Structure 1
Amino acid sequence: MRSDIELRTNFYITAVSVSARLSTVLKEAKNISLEAMNAKALVARAGENVRTFKPITDYMVELANDTIRLVEEINRESLLISKSSLISLRGNEAFGHFLKAKNLSKGALYQNSFSSALLAAEKDLQTFKQDLQKNVRMLNELLEEIETRMLAANVVTSTSRLEAATVSNLYRANFEAIVAKFETAAKNIRATVMECRKVLNGR
């Protein structure tokens, strides 16, 4: 039973740890959004010379917004894991108390009166476990989705760098700087998400 309690305690601590790390992801996603806005402004000023860059800026905005949305969902799941862990811990304690009471009442006149309460506590405990496992799976899926998007961002970064190289000298340095910041933000997000997944999976 002790290892079971430790497991739930670890899930609680892990959920809090993941939420704390996600502040970095949120910050970087906002940086991507800011750079996308800067790129859009440059595209508007440069006109036809950089029209091929517009889809890239649209993608950057979409990526930033999706990442922010996913972080919000992850924070909600982390909160649910924290709550599920605490509820499961209490359920574990209740089950232990009922089991102890039943064992102590062996031979007593009302020994069987504990049976229904013990069964109910055991059933609740199983439900709590299932809820906790479901929340952890969902959190893993959300983190994986962000990581997948950041991998896709690598391809866009390569395309962006090629496009920036074709821009007139007047705007090239600005576009190259935006691409570099976008690449850095995407890498930082992916690294943080990978760390979150390691923490979540106990590796």
Structure 2
Amino acid sequence: MLLYLQICGRTKFVFLLWIFNLTFLICNRVYEGYPFSLFGQNWAYLDNYRGTFRWHICFNFVILRMISFGYDYHWANYSNRFDKEKHIQRCSNCSSGRTCYQLLQERSLENGKFSFTIYLCYLIYAPLYIAGPIVSFNAFASQLDTPQKTHSLQKVVWYGLRWVFSLMLMESMTHFFYYNAFAISGTWKYLSPLDIFIIGYGVSVCI
């Protein structure tokens, strides 16, 4: 990335950043996640074990994070329009001494923060990988050095237990309820309107 920035400079970097990521995104769709047969017939048998989860669909959010990293790195090495002093004067959180996430997000980071390890953590951070929300790289890297003090350990443990319960409930519903099977097989055509409504509601909830 540093070499890329030095070669392209201030004007061409943003343009080439978008071209690269959009090309990557289009290739993901065209090749349907790159079958193993592209790398030789010896690997073609692995295409039968790809599973039902298509990684290139949720990879769209990863593309957005790659663009965010590129922009933040570009602004850190060149101009940053964010006026830190003016923001501190106008922000109630900064004046009261509380953590201001807008300041963490908009300020420029040191070049040491733009390491490959942090970049990789930012791309594949599990809670944000599939559905977001999209967090800029500056905000993500800044919060690594700013531990949260809003929630106590008891609240964090309780939230973890709720997450485990929700996961087990989802697994139980997808195992014992056959909404998607009815919808895909076309069996719903022979059912009553009430049954069709229940199946449609179940599919929308499971999605």
- Fold shared, TM-score > 0.5 on shorter chain: no
TM-score using structure 2 length: 0.26
TM-score using structure 1 length: 0.27
Quick check: which one's helix share is greater?
1
